[in-house]
Structure 1
Amino acid sequence: MKLPVKFLDNMKEILKDEFDTFFKSYDEKRYYGFRINTLKISVEEFLKISPFNLSKIPWSTDGFYYEEDIRPAKHPFYNSGLYYIQEPSAMSPVEFLDVKRGHKVLDLCAAPGGKSIQIASRLQGEGMLVTNDINSNRVKPLVKNIEMYGVHNVLVVNDSPDRLCKNFEGFFDRVLVDAPCSGEGMFRKDEKLIKSWEKDDISIYPKMQREILDEAGKMLKVGGKLVYSTCTFNKDENENMIQEFLDKNDNFELLNIEKIGGISEGLGVKEVGRLWPHKLNGEGHFLALLQKVDGETKEYKRLKNKKKPECFEEFEKENMNISLDGNFITINDNLYLAPKDMIDIKSLKAVRTGLLLGKVVKNRFKPSQALAMALKKEDFKRVINLDSNDTNVIKYLKGETIFTEGENGFNLVCVDGYPLGFGKLNRGTLKNGYEKSWRWV
């Protein structure tokens, strides 16, 4: 791997005696990991059914290493949202965010959504997650992941931090800023990023990070916590950025990052955390934990609950063993179940205002893929439960017609008891309802 000379010179200055060990780490294999989605299955239960040979990631409560020759994205458990494939170091920021059930949490630079799903697993359906990305192309995979992994207490936004702040100043208990950065920690994972680093002007990142961090701080409640993280190594985007923020904002204090699992202290700032590729099995990350200790408190009123549409109520009675409660919102024929902590938002580009239940057209309700993924097997009256080794699973994921026994009508199609999507059965023939844009090719 040919690393940029300017990058190497900077790392020599930073690491000094450790540089040679750091440099040699680029000749070693990269590490692969995924996190178990505890919104759908516990760690213990997944390990009982896991088809993979796994080993624990020390800084993650639900993360595991897997071997390079394994292809977990080609197993149907991936499509049922039981795990999220993620670089091991990238699992660390949410671990230190200290998310509790009922919290209101913002993931400000969220795409493709791995950390948002991790936050949602801590919320366990309570509180509210606002997940945002300013890039309209990047927000598409964010939406898919939010839906595939069964996150329902969520507002997905495609907007700028300053516009978000106009709606949510002093609103959140926790804020994650996994900031856009020069990506020096991703060189071993993707060598194309080396060319981008050499070609692009990386001096743009501190300005961008500074603006994002300033707005993020305003959206935090007094007493709330903020994690700032990057996947790069230089000090200007990390320690220097945090010190500059603290110098400008005396109502924030820096909390200590616990040094577990090989996480090191920062460069001249002991309280922050550094994940180095020569000290642990991961690509590298930077972490800083901030707490807002003073400021004004704002009060927000929740949206008043709106009545459940009759067509959806009929769908529930006919097909479901549960009845959903809350705030039902219809936007352009799309029916949403909004988070209970939802407030009135103005002029924001909201992409998902809660769980997309389905479409209401001419007073008829058609259920969505997102609804299927948010349900449990026992929530639905008619279920087609396929074994993970059954060839019909792959046929279903490809959008093909399946011939199977069962009761006529809407069925929830599951693999080993975990939902994949809907289908409509008629005399042994299942009309495939799997989301077209998700289908295997």
Structure 2
Amino acid sequence: MELLIAWDWLSFALRWLHVVTAIAWIGSSFYFIALDLGLRKAPDLPAGAHGEEWQVHGGGFYHIRKYLVAPASLPEHLTWFKWESYATWLSGFALMAVVYYVGADLYLIDANVLEMTQPVAIGVSIASIALGWIVYDLLCRSPLGKSTTGLMLLLYVVLVAMAWGYTQLFTGRAAFLHLGAFTATIMSANVFMVIIPNQKKVVAALLAGETPDPALGAQAKQRSLHNNYLTLPVVFLMLSNHYPLAFATPYNWVIASLVFLMGVTIRHFFNTTHARKGTPWWTWAVTAAIFLAVVWLSAQKPAGEADTAGAGPVPPRLARFVDDPHFETVRDTVLGRCSMCHAAEPLWEGLAVAPKGVRLETDAEIAAHAREIYLQAGRSHAMPPANLTYMEPSERALLAAWYESATR
């Protein structure tokens, strides 16, 4: 069982790393987009310079100039912005493997959605993420890629289709996470496969005394623009696993689709403002309207739909938890201490849905979340919060003994 605790700490460490690297990547991305949009012409700009910007920070002044293609000569020191992107993707994929692939039975596969074996579910996950980049890259390189608006609209259709598709394959929580990974892979691959290689070609041309191809910069800028508009939805999707009203409701795929529109309206406000083309306050009204639509959708249930989550027999792979001699007492403890919140209709005042979408009302649900019960209530005091239901030390010991006995 100490290995299980170490594994949980590995998940925590990867999550921490992922968050830190994502902050670094998003911060530099937003900074350079704002810088690019804020560039101004000046009469004393050197040949080839597109614009300049004066900034003040940390007690000093910065004078920045941008060359649309490249300067006449390459400086000795050149800073490349790429590792933030690579580290974010690598840490994110490692985290998904540790949580969703190793714990596929609990976090990835939902038999009420689609019955799959763990290897098949993992294979579908990896293939869909890789396919996303291939389709996106082909669209960008196609004749349609010359139309910024047309391409963006088609990409949105692809994202909506993936939002729906993922909810037909995985748990709601995994569907949102995969949509975020699908999008983030496109963003990171833009850096790795297009933006940085194009910049290296420009540098190589300069070193060879040649004139760099302006199309390389234009292509890189297009991909950078896409990344700019996709960032906020990806952050939402990665945080959504804490909010079952987003991922665990019947219209979850519509909610995910609307989140991408909110990302566009918010970024349009800042991009327009940074470009000194006005202050489009109307975008916040549109964003608020979309958000209210999301809230409304989260409370809806299709007519005639029965809530069957957790119903039915215990799957064979989980039978060991129910067959364990401790289980009857464990079930009584969980029903008495946990199920008032972790239920289809929580009894605790102020809760609309079960925390993180976890229900603990049936044998199958208790068995499915055995690992979480062990870590959250058996080996730690995380649950119940502030011990509001007065779980006794002997009950926590029972939960721990049950899991350890069933997994020997």
TM range (shorter): under 0.3
TM-score normalised according to structure 1 size? 0.26
From the two aligned structures, give the one with the greater helix fraction: 2
From the two aligned structures, give the one with the greater strand fraction: 1
Instruction: Mark the structure with the bigger radius of gyration.
Output: 2
